[in-house]
Structure formats: structure tokens, C-alpha cells
């Protein structure tokens, strides 16, 4: 296939636009912060599981404290009732029995008070652990929200850039013969469509051409499409080719 040197040079513009379009597409589909956002989602799940466990410990401690408070209330009611009965008791045996029960209830209340203090300490520790874990989750959520915002902005910018570059490509591609563009697209679909031959190096794949290959390129007519033996790209020859 033949094409004028001017049209062949246009292929370099198209190849550069295609490279930038591919970059924009990668930025659109794989934004910079996507990996960290995914990582944060996993971290958040672990943190939520830990929060559930810590909340269970807190709820158990609160339930135990509530039970102790109920036991204290019942013991106090019974002690107060016995004290009233003792105040009006006329029978010495009954009075002695009430005094004994009041003493027993006093010991019971003292033990319950000690247990309450211990459980209240556990409740405070559990509340602190839950609050600290929630703070970690809040920090993870905040970072995730911020990175998600940045990722959305990056996707929007990459989408707009890709659309602009596609319009530019269409405008440039319209200046060369359709057959040449089709040949370029066919090769680009396999990897590289066109590359500048600069000082014996194909800039499409960075391969240094052998002496034999360079001789074949030198012998080719200016309007003949030369090909890179490595990547198959159209080798565009200019004054930089060193031929």
C-alpha cells in the first residue's frame, strides 16, 4: 500500500492521540484511588466486626449491672421492711430473727455494692473500647468518602478528556485517505499502528532495526509503507530517521 509521506506523518499524530485516549480510558476505569478505596472497604468490614464484638461485651456488662441494681433494690426494700417490723416487734424471738436478717441483708448489700463497683468499671472500659472503635470506623469512613470524591472527580475529568481526544482524533483522521486510516487501525488493533523511525530505532516498540532491515527501509519508495519487523507498526520516515 502506498501513501504520501505527509499522510504517513499524520499517522504519528493519530498514534499519539490514541496513546492519550488509552491513558484517559485507564484513568476512567481504574482511577488512582480505587485500590485504596477497596482496601478501606475491607478494613471497615473488619472494624465493624470488632465493633459488634465490643458492643456485645458492653451490653453484657450493662445487663449484669442492671441485674445487680435490681438485687440491691430488692435487698434494700427487704431491709427497710424488716427495720419497720423490728421497730414495732414485741416478741423477743421475732426481734432477734429480724435483727439477724437485717445483718445478713447488710452483708449482702455490701457484697452487691462491691460487685456493682467492679461491673461499673467494666462498663466504663467497654464504653471506652466501643467509642475508640467507633472513632476508627469514623476515620475510615472519612478517608473513604474523601477518596471516593476524588475518584469521581478523576473519572469525570478522564471521561471529558477522552471525549475531547476522540473528537481531535476524528478531525485529524479525516485529513488522510480512508484506506490508509483503515490500514493503521488494523495494525493498531494488534498493538502499535505507527511509529517514528528515529536513528534506526522504531519508537513504536523501541526496537533497534538490524542493518538488513534498515537497508530494506532505505530502498523503499517514500510513498511505500514500511513496517517494523518486531511490532508490525507502520514505520514513518522523517529527517530524524537517519537514513
Task: Note the pLDDT tens digit of each residue in 94-126.
Answer: 888 888 999 999 999 999 999 999 999 999 999
pLDDT for position 119: 97
Residue 199 zone, left/alpha/beta (φ > 0; ψ -120 to 50; rest) = left
User: pLDDT higher for 92 or 16?
Assistant: 16
Cell triple for residue 109? 448489700
Across all residues in the chain, what is the average pLDDT? 94
Residue 161, pLDDT > 80, answer yes
For 146-175, what is the mean pLDDT?
97
pLDDT for position 132: 98
Query: The pTM is what?
Result: 0.71
Instruction: Give the percent of the chain with pLDDT over 70.
Output: 100
Q: How far apart are CA 33 and CA 52, in angstroms?
A: 28
Domains of the chain: 5-26+173-241 (1.10.287.1490), 28-159 (1.20.120)
Classify residue 230 as exposed, middle or buried by CB count within 10 Å of its CB (0-12, 13-18, 19+): middle
Cell triple for residue 226? 514500511
pLDDT for position 179: 96
Q: Picking from 14-18, 34-38, 44-48, 82-86, which range would have the lowest pLDDT averaged per residue? A: 82-86
DSSP secondary structure string, 152-187? HHHHHHHHHHHHHHHHHHHHHHTTS-HHHHHHHHHH
Residue 243, pLDDT > 80, answer no
Comparing CA positions, the residue from 145, 119, 148, 116 lying closest to residue 57 is 119
pLDDT for position 98: 86
When pLDDT is cut at 50, 70 and 90, the band that residue 136 belongs to is very high
Q: What does the pLDDT look like over 212-224, one tens digit per residue?
A: 999 999 999 999 9
pLDDT for position 89: 79
Amino acid at each position: 500500500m502506498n501513501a504520501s509521506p505527509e499522510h504517513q506523518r499524520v499517522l504519528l499524530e493519530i498514534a499519539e492521540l490514541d496513546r492519550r485516549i488509552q491513558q484517559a480510558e485507564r484513568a476512567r476505569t481504574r482511577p488512582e484511588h480505587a485500590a485504596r478505596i477497596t482496601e478501606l472497604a475491607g478494613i471497615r468490614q473488619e472494624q465493624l466486626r470488632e465493633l459488634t464484638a465490643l458492643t456485645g461485651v458492653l451490653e453484657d456488662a450493662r445487663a449484669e449491672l442492671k441485674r445487680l441494681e435490681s438485687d440491691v433494690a430488692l435487698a434494700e426494700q427487704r431491709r427497710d421492711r424488716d427495720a419497720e417490723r423490728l421497730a414495732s416487734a414485741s416478741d423477743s424471738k421475732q426481734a432477734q430473727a429480724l435483727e439477724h436478717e437485717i445483718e445478713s441483708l447488710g452483708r449482702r448489700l455490701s457484697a452487691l455494692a462491691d460487685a456493682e463497683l467492679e461491673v461499673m468499671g467494666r462498663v466504663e472500659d467497654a464504653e471506652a473500647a466501643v467509642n475508640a472503635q467507633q472513632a476508627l470506623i469514623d476515620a475510615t469512613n472519612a478517608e473513604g468518602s474523601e477518596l471516593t470524591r476524588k475518584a469521581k472527580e478523576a473519572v469525570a475529568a478522564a471521561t471529558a478528556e477522552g471525549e475531547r481526544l476522540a473528537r481531535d482524533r476524528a478531525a485529524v483522521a479525516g485529513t488522510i485517505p480512508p484506506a490508509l486510516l483503515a490500514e493503521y487501525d488494523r495494525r493498531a488493533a494488534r498493538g502499535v499502528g505507527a511509529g517514528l523511525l528515529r536513528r534506526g530505532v522504531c519508537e513504536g516498540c523501541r526496537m533497534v532495526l538490524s542493518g538488513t532491515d534498515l537497508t530494506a527501509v532505505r530502498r523503499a519508495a517514500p510513498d511505500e509503507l514500511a513496517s517494523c519487523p518486531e511490532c508490525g507498526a507502520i514505520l514513518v520516515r522523517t529527517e530524524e530517521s537517519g537514513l
